[in-house]
């Protein structure tokens, strides 16, 4: 790929109505629960009432005997995963854990852990059958809190879990699944150079992705084993691969049809119901539809991990950061695999600090297995780092943006996690934030302003796109990645740009696993960048073919044909001849047959993303209630392909981060059962909680993408935790280090500080 | 025993059989295949299943299907007139007020209920009216703008029709 184009763009950067828009405002779009087959059975899941228990026996006889029950499955129906099939290329996920998460084997590890599944003629029969499954449990002591789980003598979730990443390996099993160490420079030397050292401890709670669409799927298995799955997910190829691995089936036997996805945010990058529906359909010989309730979603699908973080930074009097050090403990949930390593990598990535040492611990606890949630691992680590930087600004009486500018990573800065940055736009976001009218607006009594920044790597990955020219000159763009927030529009715009045609002439489609080559799942802010690259390449290939076809029709050499305004153009005796896309499409029989271009690639060169957010709050000193008064999100987006949907990513990420900072938390009773598995008590931000969220799209092009695109979806959830906490701390005069900053917590912190002052 | 219910859905006479415990949401989606009304929670907390019961905005997951007897039900499928979108639907498209789109039908039905009784809402009134509809994608900014824009359009065309 060449350097970012300098040509004026005609489609990229415009704001057309999205191609799937009409379907979504009229109720026509089919989401996962909207797809039905007339003979489908109803599938239901039996879930553990205990946080931690050994399963002594399961007897399904009475359930199977109930009239209308067609199949029952338990863990004994799930193939054991042999040692060489636990991972693919030694990369997570761990399929043995995934299998045990989908149906508990010897033990249940959290309240809501699935134990058995039933297919019956209707929901009522299925639910009655669940009550007829007889299970003997031996209830075990449980542990919910991450720090308690690390104590010697804590109840062990996995009796054979030996901490990875410690040399020599410990002899005793523990709940510490792994230790990750990241060292850059020499922190002891760094802190010795520091005039100021600030140390603090931070805690954050697990938060759910909170997609409004609960998981649902429908599976149909034919007697020859051919399997069809209709579901919404962040990757139809992911669903196919995971089901095949878990159920020991060849990929060619499974076809996954992607339905519209009603939000994912990382939480739909794994499977829960799909393998169960396949097993039940195989056993019953009928299609099986399964849907989670909202309580199931809360109790059994992945939240982002909670965390305990102890961190310190050292700086010179002029504000230059010289060292940072910390311990990050993340709750993986019931199985290992929290993104603590990503937390270590991202925490100080926005800054040029010579000496950084971070140690991450991945801890298992009796909670649902955590799953990816937008910039996995980064927001909590960033909350700690950005709080300390704000404390430093206060100590030095320095403007918090100026302090960040002084230390900002730039092109050439060696990151604490290894590589050096190429072209990045962090400084530009800081300067845009400082220049924004929001930053100069006056504040009233009990009000405060917080600033924080965030970094995400962004990724590329394996991606496929297929373009076909229809007989009338319109163009189909097929890709294998679910459209989670407007990516169809981006794909259409990029194809239109290359073909130099109106975007209305391009129809994007998300197709099933049998209709296009493999694509990695939708996540990591990769689709517009990486799948877009495949679309652009395929469109470029199509232009070449069109020029060749035109050359054939004109009987000229192809070098004399150029592509302009959606037409092949040549000069004949000083006169311009043109063949439109429609004209070329109509004559394919004469020029060699239909015209299509399929590109599969492994996209490299994703440009890192940086954002800086400004948040104003008012804190009610009598109740501790925090009101967000004004919010501005600034981000380097490379190039906004459809600016409205880029703004939407910033606004949505900011709102989720504000919820993380102020409201959202899981509550458990003394038995380890979740007390708030519903939207009434697990309170995500509602419209009346928020102001308008202003956005500034800074465009520092990514030179490794033809239009300069960077991923945008992850970054905006990172800064809000720090920005809100810094605003609340400045408004209340007390540093807040524990999330969420709910009214009782804020009030308690204010009262404690007042008592200290007396 | 199944109940026989006669009702009107989006202005058309409709009848269905249901169990006494079935919710209106279940019947709309499963019996009548009107899947535009979504289930997000089943407990009245998310608003994805918002429909009109006569002139009342309700969560159809909290209404029994038998309560529809001899009443008027309005769903997202009834908002457009033929191929002409309702101004709210058009405004949601023009303002990019949806990302994944699962909450959109509920927001549209709720917003129409607001504008039907308050054609000139303030931003604050819009925010409090739709506080019962959850959206996890947009941060509400573009939804609020779309509703305010649709209200203005509808006022203008109303004024235009009168002058």
CA distances A663 to A463, A625, A687, B74, Å, are 37, 11, 14, 34
CB < 8 Å to A14, chain B: none
Distance CA A18, CA A632 (A): 25
Closest chain A CA to residue B92: A25
Answer yes or no: is pLDDT of B162 > 80.
no
Nearest chain A residue to B46, by CA = A679
- Which chain B residues have a beta carbon less than 8 Å from that of A214? 39-40
Put simply, the answer to whether B100 touches A263 (Cβ < 8 Å) is yes
Burial state string for A708-739 with b = 16 or more CB within 10 A and e = fewer than 16 = bbbbbbbbbbbbbbbbbbbbbbbbbebbbbbb
Fold for the domain defined by A460-603: Aldehyde Oxidoreductase; domain 4 (3.30.365)
How many CB atoms sit inside 10 A of residue A414's CB?
Answer: 15
Q: Which DSSP letter does residue A710 get? A: -
Instruction: Residue A484: name the closest of A519, A512, A510 by CA.
Output: A510
Domain layout of chain A by residue ranges: 38-140+213-262+268-300, 307-458+607-757, 460-603
Q: Which long-range contacts (CB under 8 A, 24 or more apart) does A148-156 make?
A: A149/A175, A149/A331, A149/A363, A149/A364, A149/A365, A150/A174, A150/A175, A150/A176, A150/A329, A150/A361, A150/A363, A155/A52, A155/A366
User: Is residue A52 within 8 Å of residue A157, measured between CB atoms?
Assistant: yes
* Average pLDDT score over chain B: 96
HSE-CB of A745 using CA atoms within 13 angstroms: 19
In Å, what is the CA distance from B124 to each residue of A689, B58, B129, B144? 10, 21, 8, 9
| Site from B97, B136, B149 to mutate, A interface, most A CB atoms within 10 angstroms | B136
Of A29, A678, A686, the CB nearest to B101: A29
Sign of the alpha-carbon dihedral angle for A485, A488, A491, A496: negative
Give me the pLDDT at residue A3, please. Answer: 44
Dihedral of alpha carbons B104, B106, B109, B115, sign: negative
Q: Nearest 5 degrees, angle CA A384-CA A389-CA A392?
A: 130
Q: Distance between CA atoms of A363 and A669, rounded to whole angstroms?
A: 21
Distance set, CA B39 to CA A120, A213, A333, B19 (Å): 21, 7, 27, 19
* Predicted local confidence at residue A6, as pLDDT: 64
Give residue A572's pLDDT: 85
Contact yes or no for A26 and B76 at CB 8 A:
yes
CATH architecture of the domain B3-78 equals Roll (3.10)
The segment(s) of chain B belonging to CATH 1.10.150.120 are 87-162
Nearest Cβ partner for B45 among A27, A651, A679: A679
Tokens standing for residue B64: 């029994």
What is residue B163's predicted lDDT score, i.e. its pLDDT? 62
Q: Do domains A307-458+607-757 and A460-603 have the same CATH topology?
A: yes
Which residue in the set B29, B134, B142 is minimally distant from A686, CB to CB? B134
**Topology classification of domain A38-140+213-262+268-300:** Aldehyde Oxidoreductase; domain 3 (3.90.1170)
Interatomic CA distance for residues A490 and A259, integer angstroms: 19
Q: How far is the C-alpha of A434 from the C-alpha of A500, rounded, in Å? A: 38
d(CA A331, CA A176): 10
A-to-B residue pairs, Cβ atoms closer than 8 angstroms: 182
**Around Cβ A6, how many Cβ atoms within 10 Å?**
7
How far apart CA A337 and CA B124 sit, in angstroms, is: 43
Residue A386, pLDDT score: 98
Nearest to A294 by CA among A686, A625, A19, A678: A678
CB contact under 8 A, A687 and B131: yes
Neighbours of A534 (CB within 10 A): 29
Centroid of chain to Cα A711:
12
How distant is the Cα of A575 from the closest Cα of chain B, in angstroms?
A: 42
- For residues A131 and A519, give the distance between their C-alpha atoms in angstroms, rounded to a whole number: 41
Edge-to-edge strand order for the sheet containing A196-204?
A176-184, A355-364, A321-333, A307-315, A196-204
C-beta of residue B154 within 8 angstroms of C-beta of residue B115? yes
Q: How many CB atoms within 10 Å of residue A752? A: 11
CB-CB contact of A505 with A473 (8 Å): yes
Query: b/e per residue, A347-385, with b = 16+ CB within 10 A?
Result: bbbbbbbbbbbbbbbbbbbbbbbbbbbbbbbbbbbbbbb
Q: Name every chain A residue with its beta carbon within 8 A of the beta carbon of B30.
A: 36
What is the SS3 string spanning A120-176?
A: ECCHHHHHHHHHCCEEEEEECCCCCCHHHHHCCCCCCCCCCCCCECCCCCCCCCCCE
Judged by CB atoms closer than 8 Å, whether chains meet at A688 and B128 is answered as yes
Mean pLDDT, to the nearest integer, of B135-161? 94
Architecture of domain A307-458+607-757: 2-Layer Sandwich (3.30)
B100 with A686: Cβ contact below 8 A:
no
Strand order through the sheet with A288-291: A69-74, A114-120, A41-47, A288-291, A216-221, A227-231, A254-258
Burial A391-400 (b: 16+ CB within 10 A, else e): bbbbebebeb
Cis peptide before A610 (omega within 30 of 0): no
- The answer to whether the CB atoms of B134 and A679 lie below 8 A apart is yes
CA distance linking residue A695 with residue A715, whole number of Å: 13
* Percentage of chain B modeled with pLDDT above 70: 99
Position A574 scores a pLDDT of 86
Mutate to test the interface with B, among A14, A25, A29 (most CBs of B within 10 A): A25
Q: Which of A666, A717, A729 has its CA nearest to residue A380?
A: A717
Q: Which two tokens stand for residue A70?
A: 């067609």
SS3 A104: coil
A591 within 8 A of A552, measured Cβ to Cβ: yes
Whole-number Å distance between alpha carbons of B48 and B41: 8
B17 CA: distance to closest CA in chain A (Å): 15
Strand spans (E) along A243-345: 254-258, 288-291, 303-304, 307-315, 321-333
- Judging contacts by C-beta atoms under 8 Å, the chain A residues touching residue B75 are 27
Q: What angle do CA B136, A299, A244 make, to 5 degrees?
A: 90
pLDDT digits (tens, 9 = 90+) for B59-94: 999 999 999 999 999 999 999 999 999 999 999 999
Chain B residues closer than 8 Å to A484 by CB: 99-100
The confidence score (pLDDT) of residue A758 equals 77
List the one residue out of A550, A532, A539, A643 whose CA is nearest residue A590.
A550
What is the C-alpha separation between B36 and B106, in angstroms, rounded?
A: 9
| Inter-chain residue contact B99 with A486, CB threshold 8 Å | yes
Minimum distance, in Å, between the CA of residue A55 and any CA atom of chain B:
30
Per DSSP bridges, beta strands A626-636 and A693-698 are parallel
Taking the model in full, what pTM does it have? Answer: 0.97
CA–CA gap between residue A481 and residue A233 (Å, rounded): 10
The mean pLDDT values, 10 residues at a time, for chain A of 758 residues are 64 98 98 97 98 98 98 97 92 96 97 98 97 98 96 96 96 97 97 98 97 98 97 98 98 98 97 98 98 98 96 98 98 97 98 98 98 98 98 98 98 95 97 98 98 97 98 98 94 98 98 98 94 98 98 96 97 92 97 98 96 98 97 98 98 98 96 96 97 98 96 97 98 97 96 87
- Chain B residues inside the 8 Å CB shell of A293: 42
- Confidence at residue A526, expressed as pLDDT on a 0 to 100 scale: 95
What does the radius of gyration of chain A's CA atoms come to, in whole angstroms? 27
What are the CA-CA distances from residue A413 to residues A351, A408, A410 (Å)?
8, 9, 5
Please answer yes or no on whether A654 and B43 come within 8 Å at the CB atom.
no
**Collapsing DSSP states into helix, strand and coil, what is residue B123?**
helix
Q: Let me know the angle formed at the C-alpha of B111 by B108 and B114, rounded to the nearest 5 degrees.
A: 155
Cα A602–Cα A238–Cα A382 angle in degrees, nearest 5: 75
**Domain B87-162 in this protein, CATH class:** mainly alpha
């Amino acid at each position: 790929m060449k350097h970012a184009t300098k040509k004026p763009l005609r489609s990229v950067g415009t704001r057309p109505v999205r191609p799937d828009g009409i379907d979504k405002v009229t109720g026509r779009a089919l989401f996962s629960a909207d797809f039905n087959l007339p003979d489908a059975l109803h599938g239901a899941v039996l879930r553990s009432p205990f946080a931690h228990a050994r399963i002594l026996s399961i007897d399904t006889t009475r359930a199977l005997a109930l009239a209308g029950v067609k199949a029952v499955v338990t863990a004994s129906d799930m193939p054991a995963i042999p040692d060489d099939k636990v991972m693919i290329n030694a990369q997570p996920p761990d399929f043995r854990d995934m299998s045990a998460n989908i149906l508990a084997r010897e033990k249940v590890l959290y309240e809501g852990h699935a134990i058995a599944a039933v297919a019956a003629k209707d929901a009522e029969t299925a639910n009655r059958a669940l009550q007829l499954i007889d299970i003997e449990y031996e209830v075990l002591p449980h542990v919910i809190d991450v720090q308690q789980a690390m104590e010697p003598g804590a109840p062990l979730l996995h009796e054979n879990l030996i901490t990875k990443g410690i040399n020599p390996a410990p002899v005793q099993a523990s709940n510490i699944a792994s230790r990750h160490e990241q060292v850059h420079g020499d922190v002891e030397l760094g802190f010795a150079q520091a005039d100021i050292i600030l140390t603090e401890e931070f805690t954050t709670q697990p938060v759910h992705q909170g997609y409004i669409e609960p998981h649902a799927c429908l599976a149909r298995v034919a007697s020859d084993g051919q399997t069809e799955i209709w579901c919404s997910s962040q990757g139809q190829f992911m669903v196919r691969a995971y089901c095949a691995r878990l159920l020991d089936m060849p990929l060619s036997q499974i076809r996954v049809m992607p339905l519209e996805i009603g939000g994912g945010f990382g939480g739909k990058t794994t499977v829960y119901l799909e393998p169960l529906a396949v097993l039940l359909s195989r056993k019953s010989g009928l299609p099986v539809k399964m849907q989670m309730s909202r309580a199931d979603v809360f109790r059994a699908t992945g939240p982002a991990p909670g965390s305990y973080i102890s961190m310190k930074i050292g700086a010179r009097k002029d504000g230059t950061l010289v060292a940072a050090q910390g311990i990050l403990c993340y709750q993986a949930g019931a199985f290992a695999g929290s993104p603590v390593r990503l937390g270590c990598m991202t925490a100080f990535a926005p800054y040029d600090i010579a000496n950084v040492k971070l140690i991450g611990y991945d801890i298992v606890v009796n909670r649902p297995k955590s799953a990816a949630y937008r910039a996995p691992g980064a927001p909590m680590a960033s909350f700690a780092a950005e709080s300390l930087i704000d404390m430093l600004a206060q100590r030095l009486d320095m403007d918090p943006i100026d302090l960040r500018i002084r230390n900002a990573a730039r092109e050439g800065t060696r990151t604490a996690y290894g590589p050096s940055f190429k072209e990045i736009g962090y400084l530009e976001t800081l300067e845009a934030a400082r220049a924004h009218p929001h930053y100069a607006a006056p504040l009233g009594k009990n009000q405060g302003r917080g600033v924080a920044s965030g970094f995400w790597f962004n990724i590329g990955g394996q991606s496929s796109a297929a373009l076909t020219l229809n007989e009338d000159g319109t163009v189909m763009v097929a890709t294998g990645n679910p459209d989670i927030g407007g990516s169809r529009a981006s794909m259409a715009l990029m194809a239109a740009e290359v073909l130099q045609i109106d975007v209305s002439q391009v129809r994007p489609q998300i197709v099933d696993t049998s209709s296009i080559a493999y694509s990695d799942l939708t996540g990591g802010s990769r689709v517009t960048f990486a799948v877009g690259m495949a679309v652009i390449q395929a469109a470029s290939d199509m232009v070449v073919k069109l020029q060749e076809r035109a050359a054939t029709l004109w009987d000229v050499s192809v070098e004399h044909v150029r592509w302009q305004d959606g037409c092949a153009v040549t000069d004949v005796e000083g006169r311009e001849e043109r063949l439109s896309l429609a004209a070329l499409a109509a004559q394919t029989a004469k020029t060699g047959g239909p015209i299509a271009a399929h590109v599969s690639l492994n996209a490299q060169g994703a440009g890192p993303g940086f954002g800086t957010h400004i948040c104003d709050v008012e804190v009610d000193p009598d109740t501790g209630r925090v009101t967000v008064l004004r919010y501005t999100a600034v981000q380097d987006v490379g190039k906004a392909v459809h600016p409205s949907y880029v703004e939407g990513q910033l606004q949505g990420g900011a709102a989720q981060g504000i919820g993380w900072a102020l409201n959202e938390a899981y509550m458990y009773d003394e038995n380890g059962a979740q007390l708030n598995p519903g939207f009434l008590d697990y309170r995500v931000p509602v419209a009346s909680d928020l102001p308008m969220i202003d956005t500034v799209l800074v465009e520092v092009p990514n030179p490794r993408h033809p239009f300069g695109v960077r991923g945008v979806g992850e970054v905006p959830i990172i800064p809000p935790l720090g920005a809100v906490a810094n605003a609340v701390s400045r408004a209340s005069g007390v540093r807040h280090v524990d999330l969420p900053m709910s009214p009782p917590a804020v009030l308690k912190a204010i009262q404690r500080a007042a008592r200290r002052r007396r | 025993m199944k109940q026989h219910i006669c009702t009107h859905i989006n202005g058309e006479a409709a009848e269905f059989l249901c169990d006494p415990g079935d919710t209106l949401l279940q019947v709309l989606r499963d019996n009548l295949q009107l899947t535009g009304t979504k289930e997000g929670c089943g407990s009245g907390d998310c608003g994805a299943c918002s429909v009109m019961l006569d002139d009342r905005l309700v969560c159809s997951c909290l209404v029994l299907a038998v309560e529809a007897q001899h009443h008027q039900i309005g769903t997202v499928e009834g908002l457009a007139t033929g191929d002409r979108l309702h101004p709210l639907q058009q405004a949601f498209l023009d303002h990019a007020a949806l990302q994944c789109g699962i909450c959109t039908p509920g927001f549209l039905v709720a917003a129409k209920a607001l504008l039907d009784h308050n054609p000139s809402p303030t931003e604050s009134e819009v925010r409090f009216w739709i506080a019962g509809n959850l959206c996890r994608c947009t941060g509400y900014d573009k939804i609020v703008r779309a509703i305010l824009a649709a209200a203005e359009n509808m006022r203008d065309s109303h004024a235009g029709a009168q002058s």
